[in-house]
Amino acid sequence: MARLVTIVLALVVSMAAGTSHARRHHHEADRNPGAVEFDYYVLSLSWAPTFCATHRDRSDECAQPHGFVLHGLWPQYAAGGYPQTCSGRLLTPQESQVAATVYPSAQLAAHEWARHGTCSGLSPRDYFQAAASARDSIRIPSELQPGDRTASMRAADIVRALRGANPSLPSRAIVVNCGGGALTEVRICVDKDLAPRACGPDVRPSCGAAPVAVPGAHQ
């Protein structure tokens, strides 16, 4: 009888260990195997009218009028530079569906996951949720809502408007980028908890001091 009890107990312990291993394996498989150490994120918000003015064939991104749209959430090093393409982990069809609710297009979502998300240490679902949360944490002031006509603003005015709508943003957390004399993007630096923080030395503006065009959404 004692021997039977010993055998049963051994089987129970073995099954429990197997279940624990399976759960741990599933959890590890869900996480990103290419995770690296990094210091903070750059949240990139693209000004859609500028992009769509030269990409009219991108109906998936440009069919509807938009202002700022999510470009990406990028791990960064405090001293400068960033990790990229940290693993070959691909998105499942279900994860791609989640991403499609966050990014302007499935193509952009897949690119952002492969280049930046694989270095975040997060599963695809958690990474996309973090990107959406970071995007939604930024209030866009009325001055930066897309109108019907092209406006003219200085980069300093764009920073001032964003800080007015988001008082917790330090001035060094906001970087405005331009191309061809037009607003292309705003980058906002946040820590790993998505709280605003100063950007690293290599996250620099590219607009200069002169006014730039802010294209309208219906042009």
Does 67 reside within a domain? yes
Residue 96, pLDDT score:
96
Residues of the chain short of pLDDT 50, as ranges, are 4-29
> Across the strands, what pairs with 47?
68
Give the pLDDT of residue 87: 95
Cβ partners under 8 Å of residue 36, min gap 6: 75, 83, 86, 119, 121
pLDDT attached to residue 20 = 42
Integer Cα distance of 125 and 131 in angstroms: 10
From the list 112, 143, 185, 218, the catalytic residue is: 112
Instruction: Look up tokens 């406006």; give the residue.
Output: 151
Catalytic-labelled residue, pool 61, 71, 95, 185: 71
Whether 20 is in a domain gets the answer no
Residue 80 domain boundaries: 40-214
Is residue 95, in this structure, part of any structural domain at all?
Answer: yes
Cα dihedral 38/40/43/44 (nearest 10): -60
Instruction: In whole angstroms, give the CA distance from residue 44 to residue 188.
Output: 7
Dump pLDDT digits (tens) for 177-187. Answer: 999 999 999 99
Which one-letter DSSP state was computed for residue 190? E
Q: What is the pLDDT of residues 132-178, one digit of tens each?
A: 999 999 999 999 999 888 999 999 999 999 999 999 999 999 999 99
Is residue 1 assigned to a domain?
no
| Distance between CA atoms of residues 197 and 200, nearest Å | 9
Residue 82 lies in a domain: yes
Answer yes or no: 37 catalytic: no
Q: Identity (one letter) of the amino acid at 41?
A: Y
Q: Is the Cβ–Cβ distance between 50 and 215 less than 8 Å?
A: yes
Q: Which pLDDT does position 13 carry in this prediction?
A: 41
**Catalytic (active site) residue 61:** no
Count of beta carbons in the 10 Å neighbourhood of residue 143:
16
CA atoms within a 13 Å half-sphere pointing along the CA-CB vector of 174? 21
CATH number assigned to the domain comprising residue 178: 3.90.730.10
Domain count, the chain: 1
Dihedral over Cα of 94, 97, 98, 99: its sign? positive
| Residue 32 covered by a domain | no
Does residue 175 belong to any structural domain of this protein?
yes
Give the active site residue among 25, 27, 111, 116: 116
| Residue 172 belongs to a domain | yes
Q: Are the C-beta atoms of 37 and 14 separated by less than 8 Å?
A: no
112 is catalytic: yes
